[in-house]
């Protein structure tokens, strides 16, 4: 299950910006990089309307994790399913990159769920749900 298009982080420059200026939190198998975007204003008619962009998320998993694409894709599918479940609780205006560590090949869905929830709450991206 893919994330909706408005919630996907795709551009290399976006990933680079998050890596350079975002905050970082880690667990034993995952690292969260997060960057809060400032509120932008768009002009609708004459008054300036404050808009908050939706949260955008990317997953980074290198060949150091596993040489086998099957293993890397399984991990990405599990993380996307978890993120899809958490999406309503993630505050708008955040750009997130989840970096998978090599030790993650031994993890199951439940452990990813627990670690990702811990990271998102710790970074104050998600409320305590």
CATH code of the region 7-37+51-120: 3.30.230.10
Does the model's pTM come out above 0.85? yes
Domain locations in the chain? 7-37+51-120
Other beta carbons within 10 angstroms of residue 1's beta carbon come to 8
Ranges 42-46, 52-56, 65-69, 72-76: which has the least confidence: 42-46
Question: What are 14-47's pLDDT values in tens digits?
Answer: 999 999 999 999 999 999 999 998 876 445 554 5
> Distance (Å, rounded) from C-alpha 30 to C-alpha 44?
41
> Distance (Å, rounded) from C-alpha 19 to C-alpha 95?
11
Percent of the chain predicted with pLDDT > 90: 82
> Distance (Å, rounded) from C-alpha 61 to C-alpha 120?
18
Q: How sure is the predictor about 49, in pLDDT bands with cuts at 50, 70 and 90?
A: low
């Amino acid at each position: 299950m893919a994330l909706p298009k408005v919630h996907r982080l795709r551009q290399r420059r976006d990933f680079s910006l998050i890596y350079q200026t975002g905050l970082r939190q880690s667990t034993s198998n995952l690292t969260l990089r997060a960057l809060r975007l400032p509120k932008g204003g768009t002009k609708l008619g004459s008054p300036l309307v404050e808009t908050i962009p939706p949260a955008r998320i990317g997953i980074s998993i290198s060949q150091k994790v596993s040489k086998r694409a099957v293993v890397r894709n399984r991990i990405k599918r599990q993380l996307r399913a978890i993120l899809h479940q958490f999406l309503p609780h993630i505050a708008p205006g955040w750009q997130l990159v989840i970096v998978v560590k090599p030790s993650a090949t031994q993890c199951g869905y439940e452990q990813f769920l627990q670690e990702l929830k811990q990271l998102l709450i710790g970074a104050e991206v998600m409320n305590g749900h």
